[in-house]
């Protein structure tokens, strides 16, 4: 089972390391994510804001889209960390759109979402817990 092979510390560390690359000049709320894909590779992403607010991109979608652009199609886990002015003081859950994007590339019963304050202080949820009764590719089969 995935839970036995997942190394939350490596994913959390990758996300926290990427946090300094976040571009959030408007909200000042910096977020980073690290996605573990089926190949074993980790892809990071950060939130990128834009003066035209809807043109911005969340860290989680940035990481997943980066992985997909590299040919990855199986999301195993994602770690998310962030906070105001880049200071992590609380858990930072993904927004609804990011949860739906994650759903496209995983089995929501197995895929793990790690919300981290640090490599030692984190919570793990399945995507199914965060997005119950989700709509996905299997609904269109």
Q: Where are the chain's structural domains?
A: 2-140
Q: How crowded is the C-beta side of 134, counted as CA atoms within 13 Å?
A: 24
- What architecture (CATH level 2) is domain 2-140? 3-Layer(aba) Sandwich (3.40)
SS3 of residue 99 by DSSP: helix
pLDDT digit string (tens) for 11-65?
999 999 999 999 999 999 999 999 999 999 999 999 999 999 999 999 999 999 9
Distance between CA atoms of residues 80 and 78, nearest Å: 7
Residues serving a catalytic function are 60
Q: What confidence tens digit (pLDDT) does each residue in 61-99 have?
A: 999 999 999 999 999 999 999 999 999 999 999 999 999
Q: Tell me the two tokens of residue 117.
A: 């304050």
For the CA atoms of 17, 18, 22, 28, the dihedral, rounded to the nearest 10 degrees, stands at -30
| Structure confidence at residue 5 (pLDDT) | 66
pTM score, whole prediction: 0.94
């Amino acid at each position: 089972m995935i839970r036995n092979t997942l190394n939350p510390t490596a994913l959390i560390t990758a996300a926290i390391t990427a946090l300094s690359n976040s571009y959030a000049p408007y909200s000042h709320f910096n977020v980073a994510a690290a996605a573990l894909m089926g190949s074993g590779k980790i892809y990071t992403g950060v939130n990128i804001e834009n003066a035209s607010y809807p043109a911005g991109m969340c860290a989680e979608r940035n990481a997943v889209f980066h992985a997909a652009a590299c040919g990855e199609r199986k999301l195993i886990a994602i770690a998310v960390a962030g906070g105001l002015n880049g200071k992590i003081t609380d858990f930072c859950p993904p927004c609804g759109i990011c949860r739906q994007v994650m759903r496209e590339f995983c089995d929501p019963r197995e895929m793990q979402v790690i919300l981290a304050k640090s490599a030692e202080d984190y919570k793990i949820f399945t995507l199914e817990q965060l997005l119950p009764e989700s709509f996905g590719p299997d609904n269109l089969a």
